[in-house]
Amino acid sequence: MAEQMPKVNAEFGSTPVIEFPTPEAPKGLKAIELTEGDGPMVRRGDTVTVNYHGVVWGKDTPFDSSFDRHQPASFGIGVGQVIKGWDQTVPGHNVGSRLVVSIPPEYGYGSRGVPQAGIGGDDTLVFVIDIISTR
């Protein structure tokens, strides 16, 4: 699976640089832990604080990036406050981990996408997620 996933610099806290191995995204929801943290494990129902960088598969420009804003985001995980792809991949990883997640539309924004953000209904999303804290 790793060979199908984008190549990302693994250093926790560094601004993500993403290289796509193929024009086609892998099928299904995929997550790879690039760096394993040694902090507490994220559990469903926790409030996590993360830095993230989101792009449409194959594109260079992020549609959203807390790294670019220099402002981490906090929200409940596993409880429907964020897209399903996050709810299903972030729990089970430790604080200090860097993940790269490939999210097909059915686990993202669905067939309507988010046109104002440049996300089409059939776009696969890629997020690089640094887990900063959980409580």
**Is 38 within 8 Å of 94 (Cβ atoms)?**
yes
Q: How confident is the model at residue 3 (pLDDT cuts 50, 70, 90)?
A: confident
3-class DSSP string for 22-43 = CCCCCCCCEEEEEECCCCCECC
CA-CA-CA-CA torsion sign (29, 68, 132, 135): negative
Q: Helix H segments across 53-108?
A: 66-69, 84-89
Domains within the chain, CATH numbers bracketed: 29-134 (3.10.50.40)
Q: Residue 118 has what pLDDT?
A: 96
- Tell me the per-residue pLDDT of 23-73, one tens digit each, with 9 for 90 and over: 999 999 999 999 999 999 999 999 999 999 999 999 999 999 999 999 999
Q: What is the pTM of this model?
A: 0.97
